[in-house]
Structure 1
Amino acid sequence: MQIIIVGCGKVGRALTAQLSREDNNVTVVDINADMVRNVSTIYDVMGIVGNGTSYHVLADADIEHTDILIAVTHSDEVNLLCCVVAKKAANCHTIARIRNPVYSAEREFIRRELGLSMTINPEYAAAQEIARLLRFPSAIDIDSFSKGRIEMLRFKVPESSSLIGHALKNLPQQLQLDVLVCAAERKEEVVIPDGDFSIQAGDILSIIAIPGNASVFFHRIGIHTNQVKNALIIGGGEITYYLTVILLSMGIQVKIIEKNRMRCEELSELLPKATIIYGDGSDQDLLNEEHLEQMDALVASTDIDEENIILSLYAKGKVKSKVVTKLNHLDFNDVIHSLNLDSLIYPKNITAEYILQYVRAMRNSVGSNVETLYKLMDGRVEALEFIINPLSKMTGIKFQDMRLKKNLLIAGIGRKGKFIIPGGQDEFQPGDSVIVVTTNSGFQDIHDILEK
Structure 2
Amino acid sequence: MHVVIMGCGRVGASLASALQRLDHTVAVVDKDAASFHRLSRGFTGQRVTGNGFDRDVLVEAGIEGATAFAAVSNGDNSNIISARVARETFGVEHVVARIYDPKRAEVYQRLGIPTVATVPWTTDRFLRMLLPEGVATDWREPSGSVAVLQLPLHEGWVGRRVDELETATGARVAFLMRFGNGVLPDRRTMIQADDTVYVAALSGTVTDVTAAARRTPEEDD
TM-score by length of 2: 0.73
Tell me which of 70, 75, 78 is aligned to 1:307.
78
Structure 2 residue aligned with 1:404: 166
- C-alpha contact 1:370 1:445 (8 A) present in aligned 2: no
Distance across 2 between alignment mates of 1:250 and 1:426:
46
3-state SS of 1:240 partner: helix
Structure 1 position 340, deviation (Å): 1.7
Q: CA deviation at 1:239?
A: 1.0
- Which of 313, 319, 323 is matched with 2:95 structurally? 323
SS in 2 for 1:370: coil
Of residues 16, 25, 28, the one that matches 1:244 is 16
Instruction: Describe the superposition over 1:314-363 as per-residue Cα deviations: whole angstroms up to 9, x where unpaired.
Output: 112223312212223x566399549825012232221123335667x58x
Distance change (3 Å), C-alpha of 1:254 and 1:396:
farther
CA distance in 2, matches of 1:338, 1:346: 11
After superposition, residues 3-402 of structure 1 pair within 5 angstroms as 229-248=1-20, 250-269=22-41, 271-272=42-43, 275-280=45-50, 281-317=52-88, 318-328=90-100, 330=101, 333=104, 336-337=107-108, 340-356=111-127, 369-370=134-135, 372-376=137-141, 378-388=143-153, 392-399=155-162, 402=164
Q: Deviations over 1:81-132 (max 9, x none)?
A: xxxxxxxxxxxxxxxxxxxxxxxxxxxxxxxxxxxxxxxxxxxxxxxxxxxx
Other-structure match for 2:199: 436
Deviation at 1:245, TM superposition (A): 4.1
Per-residue deviation, 1:436: 0.6
> Partners in 1 of 2:179 and 2:165 — Cα distance?
27
Offset, 1:446: 6.3
Read off the aligned partner of 2:185 and give its amino acid letter: P
How has the CA–CA distance of structure 1 residues 268 and 379 changed in structure 2, closer, same or farther, with 3 Å as cutoff?
closer
Identify if the C-alpha distance between structure 1 residues 428 and 416 changes in structure 2 by more than 3 Å, giving closer, same or farther: same
* Equivalent-residue separation in structure 1 for 2:106 and 2:190 (angstroms): 43
- Compared with structure 1, are the counterparts of its residues 313 and 335 closer, same or farther at alpha carbon in structure 2 (3 Å cutoff)? same
- Letter matched to residue 444 of structure 1: T
Determine helix, strand or coil for the equivalent of 2:210: coil
Q: Report the 3-state secondary structure (helix = DSSP H, G, I; strand = E; otherwise coil) of the residue aligned with 1:436.
A: strand
| Matching residue of 1:447 | 213
TM-score when normalising by structure 1: 0.40
Q: Which amino acid aligns with 1:382?
A: A
The answer to which structure, 1 or 2, has the higher relative contact order (CA under 8 A, 6+ apart) is 2
Kindly provide the CA deviation profile for residues 404-451 of structure 1, in whole angstroms up to 9, marking residues without a partner as x. Answer: 239743222234543333354442323x43211134723224617976
Whether the 8 Å CA contact 2:28–2:46 is kept in 1: the answer is yes
Question: Structure 1, residues 60-94: CA drift from partner, whole Å, max 9, x if none?
Answer: xxxxxxxxxxxxxxxxxxxxxxxxxxxxxxxxxxx
Conservation of the 8 A alpha-carbon contact between 2:97 and 2:114: yes
CA distance in 2, matches of 1:257, 1:382: 33
| Distance across 2 between alignment mates of 1:258 and 1:437 | 39
Equivalent residues, number = 211
Q: Give the superposed CA RMSD.
A: 3.6
Specify the SS of the correspondent of 2:159: coil
Q: Whole-Å Cα distance in 2 between the matches of residues 387 and 339 of structure 1?
A: 33
Contact 1:386 1:445 in 2 (8 A): no
Q: Distance in 1 between matches of 2:213 and 2:110?
A: 40
- Partners of 2:30 and 2:48 within 8 A in 1: yes
User: In structure 2, how many angstroms separate the alpha carbons of the residues matched to 1:268 and 1:232?
Assistant: 17
| Residue in structure 1 matching 2:182, options 402, 407, 419 | 419
State the SS of the aligned residue for 1:404.
helix
CA–CA separation in structure 1 for the residues paired with 2:170 and 2:152 = 21
Residue 18 of structure 1: aligned partner: none
Identity of aligned residues (%): 18
**2:141, 2:147 within 8 Å by CA — same for their partners in 1?**
yes
Q: Distance in 2 between matches of 1:261 and 1:408?
A: 49
Taking a change above 3 Å as real, the CA distance of residues 252 and 444 of structure 1, as seen in their structure-2 partners, is farther
Note if contact 2:127-2:136 (Cα within 8 Å) is conserved in structure 1.
Answer: no
Letter paired with 1:238: R
